[in-house]
Amino acid sequence: MSTKSTQPSSQVMEQLENRLLMRAPRPVQIATAFLDNRGQAFFTVSVALDKTTLSRKTASILTAGVDGLFGTADDARLYTAVGYSRGRLSLRADVPLNTKYRVRLNASVIKDVNGLALDGEFKAGASGNGIAGGNYDVVTATPTKARIRFSTVAGYINVGLYKNTPNTKDNFLHYTNEAAYDNTIIHRSVRFNDPANPPNQAQIQQIDIQQGGGYFLNTATNATTLVHNHGVIQNEGTNLNTKGTIAMANAGANTATTEYFFNTKANPGLDAVPGTYAVFGAILDTESQTTLDALAALETSGNVQYTLADGGHYNVPVRSIAAINARMAFSPKDDLIVVQRVAQLFDVAATPNVQASLQRAVTTVTNATVAAPAAATPFLITAPTKNSVLDDEG
C-alpha cells in the first residue's frame, strides 16, 4: 500500500536583488528673485550653477532703447557686474534711481553643475517648466507694496512696510533711495538676560533689539562717520513691537531721524505707551528671520566701550571678541557688522515682446540609472505673512 508523505511541501521563493532607481536630475530653476530700484538683481537657484557659464554676456541688465519698450531690438545692454556664491546669483549695473530695467539670463549658455541648461521660463515667484532650456527674461515693474531689502554680512532681510505709518515710511525710503544706509553698521545689540554678559544699563531696559542706521563705515580710514539726517519726524502709528518688526529709534517723542531697530523678540516694555516708537514694518519670510536671529546671536562688546564716530558705545556687535583680544585693538573694518545695502524692491514681470524661451536645449531622459543631482546650499523661503496693515498702496 502506498503511503503519502505527511511532510508539508516547501515552497522556495527567490529573493530579488535590491535595486535603487534614481530620478534624473531636474534642471536648475530660479527659486526666488529680488530686483531693487537701484539696479541690483539677486536670485537664488534650485541647483548649483556652473560658474564658468556665467559672465556679463550670459547674465545681463538692459534698459529700454529709444522706442521706450522692453524686448525690442534697441534694448541697451549695460555693463553688468556678475557674482555667484553658494546658490546665490547677483547682478548689478549703473541704473538711475527707480528706472525700470530688464534682466536676461541666457539659457543657451548658462548651465548647472549637472550640465543641464537653465530652465528659465518666467512664472510668478520662480521659473521653469521642468525641461532644460529657456531664457529667464524679466523686467521690473512698479511695486504694488512697499518692500525693503537689507543685505548684511549674515544674509538678507526682506521687510514689508506698514500703510498706517506713511510719514515714517516716506522718511525711511528717502534715506534708502539716496543710499544713505549702504555700508552702515549694526551698532547696538541688546539681549535681555544674556548669560554671556553681566547686566548693564542697556539690559536693564529689558529689550531684545538690533539697532542700526546711525553710522557709516569708511574702510579707507578704518573709522565710522555719522549718517547725515534731514531733521526729525513725528511719531505715528500704534503698531506693537512684536518679534520681527522694525521701528524708528529716538531720544524721546518726535525725535527720530535715521536710526532704526529690529525687534529680535517681542518687546512689550516698549509698548507701554503705544506709538512711542514708530513701528513701521515687519519681516516677510523665514530666511529673513533666520538672518535676524544670526545677527542677534553675535558676540558684543557688552560693558566694554568701543569708539564710534560720536564717542564710546556699549553692546556693539562684532565678528569675534577673540580676534580683537588677540590683536589687542578694535578695528572697525575688521570687527563691525556691516549692512552693505538697503534698497526698495521692484515687482517682477515677464519681458513683453519676447518669448521667454528663445532657445531650447533638448534633454533626453532614459531609464538608465543616473547620478544624483548636486544641489545648491539649502534655503528656506515662505510666503509673506498676511497682515492687514502691510502697505498695499505702494
pTM above threshold 0.75: yes
What was the pLDDT predicted at 364? 33
Query: Would you say residue 216 has pLDDT above 90?
Result: yes
Beta bridge partners of 312: 307
Q: Give the position of cell 534698459.
A: 63
| Of 88-92, 180-184, 271-275, minimum mean pLDDT range | 271-275
pLDDT band at 24 (very low <50, low <70, confident <90, very high): confident
pLDDT band at 353 (very low <50, low <70, confident <90, very high): confident
Query: Would you say residue 394 has pLDDT above 50?
Result: no
Summarize the confidence of residues 160-185 as an average pLDDT: 97
Summarize the confidence of residues 65-85 as an average pLDDT: 96
CA dist., res. 318 & res. 31, Å (int):
32
pLDDT band at 13 (very low <50, low <70, confident <90, very high): low
Q: How many CA atoms lie within 13 A of 43 on its CB side?
A: 30
- Specify the CATH number of the domain 22-143+346-394: 2.60.40.1220
Q: Which residue has the higher pLDDT, 13 or 96?
A: 96
Tell me the average pLDDT of the chain: 86
What was the pLDDT predicted at 54? 98
CA nearest to 251, candidates 235, 269, 236: 235
- Given a contact cutoff of 8 angstroms between Cβ atoms, the answer to whether 77 and 62 are in contact is yes
Q: Which residue has the higher pLDDT, 2 or 243?
A: 243
What was the pLDDT predicted at 258? 98
What was the pLDDT predicted at 340? 97
pLDDT band at 362 (very low <50, low <70, confident <90, very high): very low
DSSP assignment letter at 259: -
What was the pLDDT predicted at 383? 33
Q: Which three cell numbers stand for residue 257?
A: 531721524
- Specify the CATH number of the domain 147-344: 2.40.100.10
Summarize the confidence of residues 22-46 as an average pLDDT: 92
CA dist., res. 213 & res. 210, Å (int):
10
Query: Would you say residue 213 has pLDDT above 80?
Result: yes
Helices (H) and strands (E) in the chain, counts: 5, 22
What was the pLDDT predicted at 126? 79
DSSP assignment letter at 162: B
pLDDT band at 373 (very low <50, low <70, confident <90, very high): very low
What was the pLDDT predicted at 386? 39
- Kindly give, in sequence order, each residue whose CB lies less than 8 Å from that of residue 18, ignoring residues fewer than 6 positions away: none
Summarize the confidence of residues 157-168 as an average pLDDT: 97
Domain residue limits, the chain: 22-143+346-394, 147-344
